[in-house]
Amino acid sequence: MGRGGVVRKQDYTETKIRERSMVFTKRLREPIMRGEITCSVRIWRSPRAKVGGRYRLGAGAIEVTGFHQISLADITPDLARRSGFAGVVDLLKIAKHGAGEKVYLVEFDYHPDAA
C-alpha cells in the first residue's frame, strides 16, 4: 500500500496474483502440487490464462510457462496421461463443459511458496 492508502501498481499486481485461481478437479490437485502434472487441456470460449500468470492452488501457485491453442485432434493419449487422465475420453469428460469450443494447452510449474 502506498502513502495515503493509495495502491501502488506493484501492490495491485501482487494482490491480483493472490486472488486469481485456476480450478482443477480435486483428484488432480495433489499430483500438481507434487510436480507430477505440469499441463492441462482446457476448452474455453476465449483465453483465460497467460504465460507468466500465477494462479493460486493450495498453499502455493501455478505459474503458466506455456499457453497454446490446439485442436481436438492434438489431444493424444500421451497428452491426456501427462495431464493426469487415464485417456482422451477421461480428459474430455472433465475439460468439455459449458459453451467453450476453443481448445488450449496450458503448461505450468507449481511453486509451493508463492501464495
Q: Is 90 left (phi over 0), alpha (psi -120 to 50) or beta?
A: alpha
CATH T-level topology, domain 3-111: Sulfate adenylyltransferase (3.10.400)
pLDDT in tens, 48-81: 999 999 999 999 999 999 999 999 999 999 999 9
pLDDT in tens, 11-37: 434 434 445 668 899 999 999 999 999
d(CA 88, CA 32): 19
Q: Where do the structural domains in the chain lie, given as residue ranges? A: 3-111
Which pTM was predicted?
0.80
Helix, strand, coil shares of the chain, percent, nearest 5, are 35, 30, 40
